[in-house]
Amino acid sequence: MTPFFVSTDEGFVPNDIAHGGWGPTLGGQVVGGLLARAVEQLADDAALQPARFTVEILRRVASAPVRVTASVVRSGSRMQAIDAAMIQDGELVARGSALYLRRGTQPDGEFWSAAIELPELPEEPEQFDDTVPMFIRAYGPDPDWNGPGFPWQQCGPRYAWLREVRDLVAGEVLTPFVRAALAVDVTSSMTNFSSAGLAFINADYTLALSRLPVGPYIGMAALTHTSADGVATGSARLYDASGPIGTGLSTAIANFNFSPNGTRAAG
């Protein structure tokens, strides 16, 4: 499988598969993936849990080499804060911030959360290929829906199972944290699809984790969408095969050039 990036002396060089759905620019998921990778390399205490990771996409990231740096902002007895920056042609194009919290004793008592039932894990194809950046099965309220467009264009509950099938950086195994950081970008498209299609593009997104995912699959269930005057927010619950692991949050702005194959639409 073609990796998203190859590491060279010039930085991380993207392959075409790293393009997003808004033209010949890098997809938000791989931008966040590289920032998460840089953050994780500085988190050297295994007792710390990556509890919050936020990605801000400050400008469109061209399909060209990028450099990523990270630094520890603060370390304490129960937390560590780490920032990361993505540079392209000398300009800051994206940044990430992470908060790690120390694991400890789980409090007693019962906790409430809205009940959600995800579809079963999907059947995989006999082999993966380079036609899509990830393996994803999207579900709307009617699992047998055969209408026009994407399943999330139904007005109602929506879900997905995602599996990354390629290296983020050639030769490197995906860690659970980076796998979750790649997946959470889908929060925006999942929550912002309308019956007319997708017309909101990510400005930033946040991954909140109570624990790291186990296994290759990340499940998602849309929770909320609000929008007015071309500004939208959306949230989704994240799962692995064993149950809930956290939450995704997206803020987005209206943009009418989405094309699912990564080419810029007319208009």
- The confidence band for 257, taking pLDDT boundaries of 50, 70 and 90, is low
Q: Mean pLDDT across the stretch 7-25?
A: 90
Residues present in the chain in total? 267
Look at residue 263 in the predicted model and tell me its pLDDT: 34
Cα(32)–Cα(116) distance, integer angstroms: 27
Look at residue 94 in the predicted model and tell me its pLDDT: 98
Share of the chain above pLDDT 70, in %: 96
Which residues, 6 or more positions from 266, have their beta carbon under 8 angstroms from its beta carbon? none
Encode pLDDT of 29-47 as tens digits: 999 999 999 999 999 899 9
Look at residue 267 in the predicted model and tell me its pLDDT: 24
**Domain 5-102+133-254: which topology?**
Porin (2.40.160)
Look at residue 176 in the predicted model and tell me its pLDDT: 98
If phi > 0 it is left, if psi is from -120 to 50 it is alpha, else beta; for residue 223 that is alpha
Encode pLDDT of 74-120 as tens digits: 999 999 999 999 999 999 999 999 999 999 999 999 999 999 999 99
Q: Mean pLDDT across the stretch 180-208?
A: 94
- The confidence band for 261, taking pLDDT boundaries of 50, 70 and 90, is very low
Question: Which 3 state secondary structure label does DSSP give 240?
Answer: strand
- Return the H-helix or E-strand segment holding 178: helix 176-184
Report which DSSP code applies to 151.
G
Encode pLDDT of 131-172 as tens digits: 889 999 999 998 777 777 789 998 899 999 999 999 999 999
Cα(261)–Cα(21) distance, integer angstroms: 6
Mean predicted lDDT score pLDDT of the chain: 92
Q: Mean pLDDT across the stretch 63-73?
A: 97
Cα(203)–Cα(158) distance, integer angstroms: 22
If phi > 0 it is left, if psi is from -120 to 50 it is alpha, else beta; for residue 246 that is left
Cα(40)–Cα(128) distance, integer angstroms: 28
Predicted confidence (pLDDT) at residue 205 exceeds the cutoff of 50: yes
